[in-house]
Structures are given as structure tokens and as C-alpha cells.
Structure 1
């Protein structure tokens, strides 16, 4: 092999690992990697479940998974070394397998619909909008597990035949997968080991501190309205409208990990909705809508919240979808028009492996292409498995949810491959997974097709769930294949680890959800305000043509749709033209989400975002390196703390103290009343 220096092809990553042999499949997927993946996957699934149920946010656990996988495996190896037990070396390929398996497990939290369509079918989310039992399906752990096994694997099989096209031929970026690969590659250098140790140390410190804080708060929350989470941070008047900090460290962690503009947009949306729009609409109670409706009725104020927020989300999703389709089409057309470049000069190693018609330039690309193309999975096998899974799903899903008929499911699986490719390709270009957008399109189609009399609400939610699972898992696999490509991990090993992670996730996630849901049904637990479950329920009701919406709600829906679309266009034009104001134009989707959330949640997230911003201003290097670890510790600690408190609730344990915050007048009345009681 002819060596190439850095001057010819830039700084090479693979030159640093050139002396290391490529591990075989059995040396990559090891019992050690599977055990570590199970431990981390189960832990992060609890965290992801808590976050998605309380806030609806879906976080990427790629970096925490890679970080924890590296550190836990290192600890394992040190223990074996201490007892003089022989073991395989821990490689970056094994680290990639752990990361892939963990992310596949935790992604079921989102694609499984626990915070969205599963809860949207329940009676609690439906509230007063139940017309008949045909549009209600209470969660059942057996049905959830079966449904997940039916829908979770098809997307992975159907996208595998396109892996060479997207990663080798078109060289799509897949920013999240690329960032994760760079992180794993850096960990396995001497400098990376020191950096990982600092990150993990901070992660475990914040993790332990957050769990301790959760337990401390529990001792003062013996009744409704008790505890530090009800502290009137900005005064009692602001507290009455929901503006206070509830000391949720998970929200702080989310704010530290999300872009600053998203948090800024959510704060603006919170102020517009909860300070202006909703108070004004509440003054019209009895005029625009009946005054005797509950807070969950679509014929009341909730109808305004659902319609306005949903119209803004649809406007932004529609605009982004069209932009991505145009950008993707232009990119594919431009690359097709590119002339074939000759190899002139000497023949480069591995050039024969280039299936793109354009030679790979660097040593890294040639080395990675060799490994990526070495372990073939025949297309006939993957396509055959997709067809088999489709047939099983067409037969079994209507048995689980009779509202959706056989021909409905068959149509979804017939169209899913086209949309899966579009979604995976667009994700590679923009790093945006539009599975939820395709899901809403499917809901509109099937909702109007089935109708509310035949259980159209449940049918709509199930159809959307199938679509989001197939498309979301297809995009996630391509991200992981990109990570494997950049770390010289066999695509066959990545695919197998993805299947293993999905299998584990289909069992763990419904179990974790069931624990939270059982506690919530007793009225003792806290699953938050389920903003996205209510959103999906409202969208399903609209798609089936449900009537009885409050007065002027459709006008406000159209008005905010136009305003949101104009804002999205303005933001895109400003970015294209490089206007100075582009950094200050809020995100439409960020503002829309705030319409459903109580103000205390965006406030906690904004505090986290402010902490991350100030940290980077004071010490940019340490802030960028350590803030993700600190945020991960906050989120993990709060999630596991919530699970621990839920277990205490199931065991009928009660806190010994109640602490409440009252106004001066209420406190004087309380003192006067206590003075009338006999002294014991």
C-alpha cells in the first residue's frame, strides 16, 4: 500500500489506527458489549420515558451512550485486569456497537408512541370528547409489546438496500452520526481517554446530586400543592398563571442540550400564548364557548390551544418538508450531472471499490469504503424480510386494533419504502428526521377515510404510529451506519446490534411506561401535562371531521397558520441572504410547542440554556466539552429519581412533611385559625 501524507489529503484519522487489525464480527459483538448495552439501555430508557411523558421532548442519547459505553467498558476491563482474567481489547468498533444498541433501545420511547399516540388513545387524554368506546383504547402492556414487535423492524430491513447509495455514492453527511463517530474515534486515543474521564466524572457527580435532590424534595411533598416544585419564583400573581421554576433538573438539562434559539423561541411562545392569548380567550368563556366544559374538552379552551399550536406546527413542517424535498432533488440532479473524473496519474488503493462512479480521494475514504463494502447483506434477504414482516403486520395489527382494517395496513406498508428512502435521504442532508411529519400526513389520510363512527380516532393514531416507526427507525439506522462507516465498523455488525437493541427496547420501554402509567392512574404520580398526547388526540379528532369546535377557532387556526408560514419563509430567506437579523428570528416549531406546555417547563429549560451560555462565555473550551455531560447527569438523575419516587408511591409510602407557600393575607388567616385550636 502506498502511503499518503497529511499534506496530500489532510489530517488522517485512519492513519492513527492503521496498525490495529479490523476485528471480526465475534470480536465486535461480544458478551461484554451486550451486557453493557443492556445496562445502559435500560437506564437511559427510564430517563427517556420520563422526559417524553412530562415534556414531549425527544433527546438524542448518542453522545451519552458513546460516553457511558466507553467508560463502563473500561471499568469492566480494569476489574478483569485486577483479577488477571484474559479478555479481548476494547476497540472503537465495540464502542460503536454499544452506542448503536443503546440508541436503538431508547429510540423506541419515541417511535413506540408512549408520549404521543399510545397515550392519545386513552380515556384520560380524551377527557370529555369521548363519543363512544370505539374511539378509546386503554394501554395494555401485552398489546403494546406485541404491537412494537410488529412495527419496529420493518424500517431497518427496507432501508438496508439503499445504504451504498446514500453513504458511498452520494456521501451524505448525517451530522449526528458523524459527530458521534468523531467522539468515539477521539475516545480511543490517549488524549481522548483523559477527556472522557473528565466528562464521565462530572456526569456521575451531577447524576448523584440530582437523585439526592429528588429524594430531598419528596420529604416535603406529602399532599397536593406541597413541595419546592410549587415555589412562587416570580411572585404569587405570576405563579397563578403558571410562571415559576419547579426545580426540575431534567428541564434544566434539556435546556443545556438544546440550541439557544429553540429555548428563546419557546420563551417567546410562552409569553405570547400564556400571557396574552389564553387570558384573553378565557374572558370570552360563556360567549365563544360554553362555561361548563372541563379543561380537556376540544369544545372549550383546549380546542383553541390544539388548533392554534397545531396550525403553527403544520405550517413549519410543511415548509421544511418542501424545502428538504427541493434541496434533495437539486442535490441528486447536480450529482448526476457531474462528469466522471479520471484517475490520471497512479492508481489509488481501493479505487475499484468505489461504486459511485467518482474516485474516493483520501486514504480514510478508501479504507472506510473497503470495510463498508466487505460484509454484504444480500438485498434479496432484506427485501424478503420486509415483505414477510409486512404480511405478518397486515394480519396481526387489525387483531390488536380492529378499527384499522387489513387493507389500511397493507396500503401503509406498500407506500412506506418510498417515504422511508425520502426521509433517510433528507435526514442525511439536513439532520432532520421528518418521521413525525409523514405521520401527520398519514393521520389526515386515514382519518378522513375511516371516519369517527368506525373508530377513526384510534385508526388514525395507529396508522400514524406505524408510519412514524418505519420511517423513524429507517433514518436512525442510516445515522448509525454512517457512524459505523467512520469508525470502520462492519455494517453487518451495526445492523445486528440495531436489531438487538430494538428487541430489548420493545420489552423494556413498555415495562417502564407501565410503571409510570400505573402510578399516574392512581393519581399519586406525575407524568406532567402530556402535551404531545393531547396534540395527537386533537389532530386525530380533526382528521376524522369531529364537529363542535369553539367559536372563531378555525379563523384563529388559519390566521396563525399564515403567520407561522410567513415566519418560516422569513427565517429561510434571512439565512440564504445572510441578513444580520437571521440569528434573532425565532423558530416556529419552538414557539408552537410552548402553546401546549405549562410555562414552568420552558422557564426551567431557559435557565439551563442560560447556564450553558454563560459557561461557554466564561470558559469556552471546558463549557463545550463538559456541558453535555453535566446536562446528561441532570436528565438521568431526574429520570431515575422519578422512577424511585414512583416505586415509593406504589408501596404506599407517604412523605412526612408538607411545605406550602402562601400570601401574607392567607398566612394571617391560617394563623388565626390555628390559634382557635386547643393546644396539645
Structure 2
């Protein structure tokens, strides 16, 4: 690879690697990652990044998410009253600088926001000193014991998600915790006991042929069940509303701009992308764009509930669908990765756009190149690139390659999500407050339990505060939460700069069992 290609790879992997976004599927296309796998590393399954095709690719796919959800923005924010915690936090931060002069309450709110902003920022700075290696630092503190930690049950001291928990309704946080207990507390340990029967026992924990396959696809099934139910419900209301407008007004005046824009850009994209990826046929793209608005709605809806964008999850779905359709002999690996990029750009733009309607600010990443990008064992191994490529290799084998009973469980949880939503609508709003939300329950299935615990801690803080002084909690709770979220978020910029200039944390704080610690002591002695 040329130096320019490495620079491009690093720029995008830096900003999106952690979220499993653009950098991951882009790196999965490169020869550096392909050479780390023994399968599907022929020229037809490799495309190294160059600035020209990347700009063209992003230009034709990134606008689709905007047009797919803009027509539903009023329904999502006003009718559904979705929270969009990051957008809400940023709105409070912006409003704090534009409050009427002389308003005592506003000044106190600004003071509270600034105080907790500073605390959150300094807490992130303090934690940085103890993160000198993988699994180090307070973020890996085994709060409930090492066994619980292995199943991702721990409090990771994230100021961001404590703040998000203070903003999200109690039902959302409780739903997250129920989903975490159901998956990591019950289902995954039980399925793990079936290793050797349901899937080969020697597989790595990240293999989609094993336990990871259940985590990813059952979570997707539940999310799609919830999202599709709500999408159909909203679509029904929207079509009825349009019918009344056509009946009462001039039909030409109510043609949605979003629909026209979406169809227009989709046509351009379907004509352009096959020239960038000849493995990605135009009819694959058409199918993606027919499905994408539903998934974009699901992602924007879920992000509005919990602040988690699951764009990478929907990208995985595109990898398997298009990869299996294309087949191994026709560049299915590269077609799957390209389809992943198309889908992720659409659904992530949709959720980010809805956050913007809640006044979210954006940050811009910048960086430089490193010669060891993507190479295992180096400072910047970019492991998700290989993960995404392996998923694409699995995708060309078809869903039959998934572990035993995985699809059956997916069907069960998809139908279960639809039934729970229907039951919530039947019992009415008052009783629905006590029924968990499937979309929120599904998120920990794949991610883990730790952030649900963080958010429940935020809920607990607000609940206790409300019992002590409800008026003060109502007045200052959003400001405190916004300070926690924004301070922790701002710290990522200096921490990234420190990494880029080669300044590494000096200490690794890890937690070992007594037995392991004794073995380490013996070894060192």
C-alpha cells in the first residue's frame, strides 16, 4: 500500500474504529487485512482505499439517510416524544449561554452545568492515567466480582452514561437492565453450556459461528421486530394523514420533498456505485435502498430511546444479505463490505440527523499517518477491520452457516418484540409504563450490561434526588446530566491528541483473581 492510502485508512479508522463504523468495513477491504485471513484474499475481494473513489462513494450514499427520516421528524420528536439524550444535553449546554439576563434560576443552572462539566472532564483525565493497556483502568473495574465481569456485568464509571441515565425515562433504563439480565445473565451462559453441541467448542469468542452469532442476530431480530412494528404503525398514521391532505387540499402542494430527494439520489447512487465496486450490482443497491428507510427509522427510533446508534448492527445485516446473494465466486466478500458501508451511512445519518433536531453538535477528527496501521500486535492494529472481513466471509456462506438453533431463536424474539409492542398499545399508556420496551431490551444483547448499569445508576441518582427535593431535581437534573455528558465527551479530543503525538498513559490498573495474582507473583519472583 502507498503512504497516501495508509494516511486515508488511518484518518477514517481513527474516527470510526471504536464505533465499528466506516473505518472498519473500509479496512476490511484492504490487502493488509485480507492477508491476515486464509480465505477470500483473491484480487476480486480486495480494494485498497484511494481518495478518489472514497469521495465519490461517500458523496452518493451519505445523503440518503437525511431524506429517509426527515419526513418523520415531527412524529419522532413531537408525537413519540423521544429523548435523544445527547441532543438534549447539547441543547441544555447551548441554552445555558443564551438565557435571559437576570434570571436567577438560569444562572444557577449554568453554574451547575459548569461544575459537573468540569468534574466529568477531570474524571476522564484522571482515568486516562490508568489505561496503559487492554483491559486496564476504571472502565474495567469488576464491581460485582470477576465472574459477573466476565459476563459484562460491572459499573464502568462512565460519566456519559450516568448522565444519559438521568435524562432517559425510568422505563428505558429498566428495559435496558431487563434485557441485560435476560441475555448476559441467563441466555448466553445457558447457550455457552451447549458449546460442543450447538457450535464447536474451540471457536474464539468473536466468531459468528459460535456464541457471538447468537448475540448479534438475536439482538438484530428483536430490534427489527420492535422497529418494524412501530414503522408500520407510523406509516399507517402517515398514509392516513396524506390521504386527508389529498382529499382536502391540492395534491401537488403536499408532495413530500424527502420522498423525491430519496428516490432521486437512489437512482444516481444505483447508477454510480457499480462503477466503484463492480461486484456490487445495481439491483443489490436498489434492494438496499428499498429496505434502508425501515432500518433508518429503527435506528433513529432506538437512538432516540437510549442514545445508542446501532448502525454497525444494521451494516452486519447488509453484509450477510448481499454477501450471500453475490456468492463467493463473484466477489461476495467485497460486495458485502460495500453494502455494509451503504447501509451504515444511511442509518447512522438518520440517527445523527435526529440528534441534530435536538441540537446536537458535531466534532471533527484530524490525525496523521502511522506505518503500522492494521498490523496485529502494533500500536494501531484496527482489529474491527478483520472482524468485518470475517463477517463478510461468513456472509457469502449464507445464514445456514450460523450456529444451531440461532435462526429459530431469532424468529422467536422477532415475534416476541411484535407481541410486546402490540400488548403495550392494547393496555393503554398508563399500564404500558410498566411493560418493558423491546428495542431498549435488545441493545444489551450484543453490547453488554455495563452501560445499562451506568444508566440505572443515573436513574437512581435522579430518583433519590427527586425524593429529597423534587423541585430542585426537576430544575437542575438536566443541567447536571448535560454537564456529565459534555465533559466526558470533550475529554475524548485531548485524549486522542495525546495518542497521536505518542504520549501514552503511564499505569495499567488491572484486577486479577487471588489465584491468578499468586501465579503472577510466582512468575515474577
Using structure 2 for the length normalisation, give the TM-score: 0.71
Tell me the residue number matched to 1:190: 100
Which residue of 136, 140, 151 maps to 1:241? 151
Tell me the residue number matched to 2:435: 585
Does residue 1:232 correspond to 2:145, yes or no? no
Give runs of aligned pairs for residues 639-678 of structure 1, distance below 5 A: 639-667=489-517, 677=525
Tell me the residue number matched to 1:281: 191
State the alpha-carbon separation in 2 of the partners of residues 442 and 548 from structure 1. 16
Question: How far is the alpha carbon of 1:198 from its aligned partner?
Answer: 4.1
Does residue 1:312 correspond to 2:165, yes or no? no
Does residue 1:558 correspond to 2:411, yes or no? yes
Structure 1's 130 and 215: CA in aligned 2 closer, same or farther, altered over 3 A? Answer: farther
Structure 1's 572 and 549: CA in aligned 2 closer, same or farther, altered over 3 A? Answer: same
Question: How far is the alpha carbon of 1:619 from its aligned partner?
Answer: 3.6
Structure 1's 519 and 323: CA in aligned 2 closer, same or farther, altered over 3 A? Answer: same
Tell me the residue number matched to 2:277: 401
Tell me the residue number matched to 1:302: 212
State the alpha-carbon separation in 2 of the partners of residues 141 and 221 from structure 1. 34
Give runs of aligned pairs for residues 550-629 of structure 1, distance below 5 A: 550-575=403-428, 578=429, 580=431, 582-629=432-479
- Contact preservation (8 Å) 1:174, 1:427: no
State the alpha-carbon separation in 2 of the partners of residues 222 and 200 from structure 1. 35
C-alpha distance after superposition, 1:432-456 (max 9, x if no partner): 9999799899778755643343234
Tell me the residue number matched to 2:335: 459
Question: How far is the alpha carbon of 1:583 from its aligned partner?
Answer: 1.5
Question: How far is the alpha carbon of 1:326 from its aligned partner?
Answer: 2.1
Tell me the residue number matched to 2:6: none
SS state at 1:244 partner: coil
Using structure 1 for the length normalisation, give the TM-score: 0.57
State the alpha-carbon separation in 2 of the partners of residues 654 and 435 from structure 1. 30
Structure 1's 127 and 629: CA in aligned 2 closer, same or farther, altered over 3 A? Answer: farther
Which residue of 548, 555, 564 maps to 2:401? 548
Structure 1's 316 and 213: CA in aligned 2 closer, same or farther, altered over 3 A? Answer: same
Tell me the residue number matched to 2:4: none
C-alpha distance after superposition, 1:471-520 (max 9, x if no partner): 7768987997x999xxxxxxxxxxxxx9xx9xx98xx45x47999x9599
- Contact preservation (8 Å) 1:403, 1:456: yes
Tell me the residue number matched to 1:638: 488
Question: How far is the alpha carbon of 1:274 from its aligned partner?
Answer: 1.4
Question: How far is the alpha carbon of 1:594 from its aligned partner?
Answer: 0.8
SS state at 1:238 partner: helix
Give runs of aligned pairs for residues 133-152 of structure 1, distance below 5 A: 144-152=54-62
State the alpha-carbon separation in 2 of the partners of residues 477 and 662 from structure 1. 43
Question: How far is the alpha carbon of 1:616 from its aligned partner?
Answer: 3.7
C-alpha distance after superposition, 1:533-557 (max 9, x if no partner): 9799869955972442222222222
- Contact preservation (8 Å) 1:135, 1:452: no
State the alpha-carbon separation in 1 of the partners of residues 102 and 397 from structure 2. 54
State the alpha-carbon separation in 2 of the partners of residues 211 and 186 from structure 1. 18
Tell me the residue number matched to 1:326: 236
> Which consecutive residues of structure 2, in runs of 5 or more, have no partner in the other structure?
1-10
- Contact preservation (8 Å) 1:450, 1:456: yes
Question: How far is the alpha carbon of 1:137 from its aligned partner?
Answer: 6.1
Count of residues paired in the alignment: 495
State the alpha-carbon separation in 2 of the partners of residues 276 and 544 from structure 1. 30
Structure 1's 206 and 242: CA in aligned 2 closer, same or farther, altered over 3 A? Answer: same
State the alpha-carbon separation in 2 of the partners of residues 385 and 406 from structure 1. 16
- Contact preservation (8 Å) 1:135, 1:456: yes
State the alpha-carbon separation in 2 of the partners of residues 322 and 659 from structure 1. 49
- Contact preservation (8 Å) 2:45, 2:333: yes
Question: How far is the alpha carbon of 1:269 from its aligned partner?
Answer: 1.4
- Contact preservation (8 Å) 1:250, 1:639: yes
SS state at 1:208 partner: helix
- Contact preservation (8 Å) 1:121, 1:138: yes
State the alpha-carbon separation in 1 of the partners of residues 412 and 38 from structure 2. 25
SS state at 1:190 partner: coil
C-alpha distance after superposition, 1:289-344 (max 9, x if no partner): 11222222221111222222222122222222222222223333456667x9xxxx
- Contact preservation (8 Å) 2:295, 2:347: no
